[in-house]
Structure 1
Amino acid sequence: TYFFVPWQLHVYVGWFSCVAYQGAFDLIKDVKKFAEI
């Protein structure tokens, strides 16, 4: 199990950064939409 930790951590970090990037993109879109009003 200890051998697989780095690989799982790498996958988790990659997934988290992808989700964070997507969330930030949606947040910027919402802010722009709100600024237009």
Structure 2
Amino acid sequence: MISYPKQIELKQEIVEDCFRKVKEKPSFLPIVASPKEK
């Protein structure tokens, strides 16, 4: 079981990783931002 503060850190890392992927591939953003439109 991961302690609560570590869970928050992990989520932050995931979010930051997503932002990095979006910066590398801008076309990746619309797919994540609006899946309902497709």
TM class, shorter-chain normalised?
0.5 to 0.7
Instruction: Quote the RMSD (CA, aligned, Å).
Output: 1.8
Q: 2:13 aligns with which of 23, 26, 29?
A: 23
Q: Is residue 33 of structure 1 aligned with residue 30 of structure 2?
A: no
Q: How many residues were matched structurally?
A: 26
Query: What 5-or-longer segments of structure 2 have no aligned partner?
Result: 27-38
Structure 1 residue runs of 4 or more that deviate by more than 2 Å after TM superposition: none
For 2:3, the aligned partner's letter is V
Structure 1 or 2: larger helix share? 1
Aligned-residue identity in percent: 8
TM-score calculated relative to the size of structure 2: 0.58
Query: What 5-or-longer segments of structure 1 have no aligned partner?
Result: 1-8
The structure that has the greater radius of gyration is 1
